[in-house]
Structure 1
């Protein structure tokens, strides 16, 4: 391999969206709803909303817009009511998700030899805010907003490589989701799987890749060791 840059999935791979959202929902709604169940329901709307864009039924829009639409659906499902200002503030929880403990030291180690960037369905402002919240240091921000489309469309991965003036096989996609890595590999990128077995709750995440990958590890620091 002649990898020169690593690009990362963010939601689930670098940040623990479920625990972060559940904590804020529990604090805001005071026992009216189970925060973890709310987080799961909100996340369940994620792929269907993006598919509206991928299929051309909606023009490209930033993920904040889709998350806000999805939030209205989930609030109605749980029979929770709040004003627009409260909904907008709750929607911003995606900008302050907490990272998994191994991420910041792992990124610092990897940055010694590789260029690093997120390759997320989150837009640039969202990625900047997550980086500042968690102390991530990026060399660039790539992903959906740059490509004007959503993963797993090939253009998202190819735009990430192009942003660094690199060939696809000089870039490694790092993710905790086999489907993301499968799509990246089909676009010509190298792939690394990071296990996040608790992403959807205890024992409810992917422990091993279900597709062929170049590297498979349990923690981000282990990826640095292998590379």
Structure 2
């Protein structure tokens, strides 16, 4: 652990509870207009469009677009599929639900403890404005905001992880990637980073998140507070 100089994080699911937050915002915005729907199902359907939309960028089919743009395309698709009426202002407000997500309880104290001795930053597919809004909402104090917008590509492309390490003037092996998703960690490891799995068993609803890594990692923890203790 002594050789690790920076710790970087996946955000959606790893640091913030996207499913509960999106469902809450949908209930507030759409439910407030008298619309009834399964808000958890809406959140799941919206998230299900996440990787296919980014794959269009990764494959070169479309130019790099910020996540807000992709989220809006996906939202329009989901509302149409669920036959939910919404005007332009409502769709715009709902699309910003991803900027108003809440952190898991261990995250803020864990980040504070880790930052005492190491650089910390998001390595997220979310763009800078989105990361800043989540940071301000939850009290995250970053040393930098890194990830997809810096690399102009989306994880799990190796360039995203490599640009993150380079931004700190560090070698990849001096950086640890923390995520609740085995696929993210497998790509980070391939890019040369150290990796840590953090369990988020409720990410997709109670008992529907990953509880252990399905790939080789350098460590596994149940929360960022545990990681901070492990790293001294």
TM-score range normalised by the length of the shorter chain = over 0.9
Equivalent position SS for 2:12 = coil
Q: Distance in 1 between matches of 2:87 and 2:13?
A: 29
Q: Which residue of 2 aligns with 1:137?
A: 141
Match of 2:222 in 1: 218
Equivalent of 1:198 in 198, 202, 226: 202
Q: TM-score if structure 1 supplies the norm length?
A: 0.99
Structure 2, unaligned runs of 5 or more? none
Query: How far apart are residue 25 of structure 1 and its match?
Result: 1.1
- Superposed, which structure 2 residues align to 1:35-114 within 5 Å? 35-114=39-118
Task: Report whether the alignment pairs 1:162 with 2:163.
Answer: no
The offset of 1:83, in angstroms, is 1.1
Deviations along 1:133-181, whole A, 9 cap, x unmatched?
A: 0000000010000000000000000000000000000000000000000
Could you state the TM-score of these two structures normalised by the residue count of structure 2?
0.97
Cα deviations by residue, 1:104-154 (Å, 9 ceiling, x for unpaired)? 000001001110000000000000000000000000010000000000000
Query: C-alpha root-mean-square deviation of aligned residues, in Å?
Result: 0.7
| Structure 1 stretches lacking a partner, 5+ long | none
Aligned to 1:173, what secondary structure does the other structure show?
A: strand
Identify the range of structure 1 (133-142 vs 22-31) with the bigger mean alpha-carbon deviation: 22-31
The Cα shift of 1:28 comes to 2.3
Tell me how far apart the structure 2 counterparts of residues 59 and 28 of structure 1 sit (CA, whole Å): 31
2:42 aligned counterpart, secondary structure? helix
The 2-side partners of 1:98 and 1:36 are apart by 16
